[in-house]
Amino acid sequence: MKFKSLIVTAAMITTGLAGVASSAMAATQFFPVLPYRTGPYAPNGVPFANGYVDYLKLINAKGGINGIKASFEECETGYATDKGVECYERLKGKDGGATVYQPLSTGITFALTEKAPGDKIPLITSGYGRADSVDGLAFKWNFPLLGTYWTGASVLEQHIKKLSGGSLKGKKIALVYHDSPYGKEPIPMLEELSKQDGFSLQLLPVAHPGIEQKSTWLQIRQSRPDFVFLWGWGVMNSAALKEAVATGYPRDKMYGVWWSGAEPDVKDVGAGAKDYHALTMQDGADANSKIVKDVLAQVYDKGQGTGPKEDVGQVLYMRGLSAAMMAVEGVRRAQERFGKGKVMSGEQVRWGLENLALTQAKLDALGFAGVMRPVSTSCADHMGASWARIRTWDGAKWNITSDWYQADDAVIRPLVRASADKYLAEKKLTRRTPADCQS
């Protein structure tokens, strides 16, 4: 009888320990990753994904988010909207539920904007996605942190206006854009600016994946615009630069959005791309920054790096690091309200992202000194910062060549409000109340 009792007790202890172990294993914050490591956009998608995953590894090496380790799983989208939706559905309930999604595609963002409210999972779309989702009173679950394509267009317009002596009246600007939701996003802003500043706007769509652009650049040679704005991605960017060389369009008159200004875009063109400019958000590619040194020491030196060591510190790698950092800090901010050392739900993380307060002191402590500026969100403002500057390719490397510009809120705000109101009307939704802003 005593022996049987011992067996039962041992079984109970074993079961209890297994439960504790299972609970410990489950106590992770799950970050689904939607990369594209294959296809025509892979050269740009891979370094971003590597930076994103490496930051999660770094967080774990440092003990997690107040003790909670990060878990993650990748699901390849190939930059295709249907695959992105499939990945979202497959991963949203894994490991206790998705923390946040970063689609890295405007098309996927549009699709997931309809799903996120029902599933209560926030979307971070830093530097892409819906420009009107800055309006947190209309888009509760979307966070276009750091900038949208309307802020990018505003900064580019300010820069070339400054170069043109303060006036763009009578100038011609050609927009060479990826013929997708991504490429079309800046058009409303540029059309509004053309009315206000008196420049003409030529719209030149390029079909996926963007390799064939001969007819586009023949039109540019004929129309002779004063400036070309490039809204490309992947192979489209290097193809555009090669055609500019072939048709003799001056590269110093070309300005890319921040997705058209990384190492993969220019390395095959080399010296031919010299003097080409592009926007940069808050993602300084500084190999001497503390965050880069931390990743190398605590991830790569331990043999846990996701990609080539030489990519650490490059433009898109740093953007991936920054994107992951903001997601992690959304969790950390949520823990301040809902409990440190606890796994946060998607709904709790949404509150954290809506109340981000990344001061310069915090960024410096995280290792992002010289990489990012402060970011502060609110219920009404889901972007948190609207600064960008220009970098220029010198034939071998990128160099920062302008001061910081802040997007013109006076122009952007009415467009955001009108677009958000239209969305709410179409979906039969209403703006958030003050009470909801406290939830």
**For residue 191, what is the domain's CATH number?**
3.40.50.2300
Residues 6 or more apart whose CB falls under 8 angstroms from that of 127 comprise 144, 146, 147, 148, 152, 258, 259, 281, 319
- Check whether residue 278 and residue 155 sit in a common domain: yes
Per-residue DSSP letters for 115-181?
Answer: THHHHT--EE-TT-S-GGGGBTTT-TTEE-TT--HHHHHHHHHHHHHHHTTT--TT-EEEEEEESSH
- Check whether residue 82 and residue 184 sit in a common domain: no
- Check whether residue 175 and residue 100 sit in a common domain: no
d(CA 425, CA 199): 33
- Check whether residue 236 and residue 314 sit in a common domain: no
12 part of a folded domain:
no
pTM over 0.85? The answer is yes
Q: Tens digits of per-residue pLDDT, 302-349?
A: 999 999 999 999 999 999 999 999 999 999 999 999 999 999 999 999
What confidence score (pLDDT) does residue 398 get?
Answer: 92
- Check whether residue 265 and residue 314 sit in a common domain: no
- Check whether residue 32 and residue 110 sit in a common domain: yes
Q: Say if CB 113 and CB 142 are below 8 A apart.
A: yes
52 part of a folded domain:
yes
8 part of a folded domain:
no
Q: Say if CB 101 and CB 112 are below 8 A apart.
A: yes
Q: What percent of the chain has pLDDT over 90?
A: 90
Split at pLDDT 50, 70, 90, the class of 14 is very low
16 part of a folded domain:
no
Give 152 or 1, the one with higher predicted confidence: 152
Residues 6 or more apart whose CB falls under 8 angstroms from that of 85 comprise 108, 111, 112, 115
Phi, psi values for residue 171, rounded to 5°:
-80, 160
435 part of a folded domain:
no
Mean pLDDT, the chain, integer? 93
Q: Tens digits of per-residue pLDDT, 381-426?
A: 999 999 999 999 999 999 999 999 999 999 999 999 999 999 999 9
116 part of a folded domain:
yes
- Check whether residue 156 and residue 272 sit in a common domain: yes
What confidence score (pLDDT) does residue 438 get?
Answer: 86
Residues 6 or more apart whose CB falls under 8 angstroms from that of 162 comprise none
Mode of pairing for the β-strands spanning 387-393 and 277-280? antiparallel
Number of compact structural domains in the chain: 2
Q: Tens digits of per-residue pLDDT, 84-113?
A: 999 999 999 999 999 999 999 999 999 999
15 part of a folded domain:
no
Q: What's the whole-number mean pLDDT along residues 103-128?
A: 97
- Check whether residue 72 and residue 88 sit in a common domain: yes
112 part of a folded domain:
yes
What confidence score (pLDDT) does residue 160 get?
Answer: 98
Domain span at residue 60?
28-147+286-385
Q: What's the whole-number mean pLDDT along residues 15-23?
A: 40
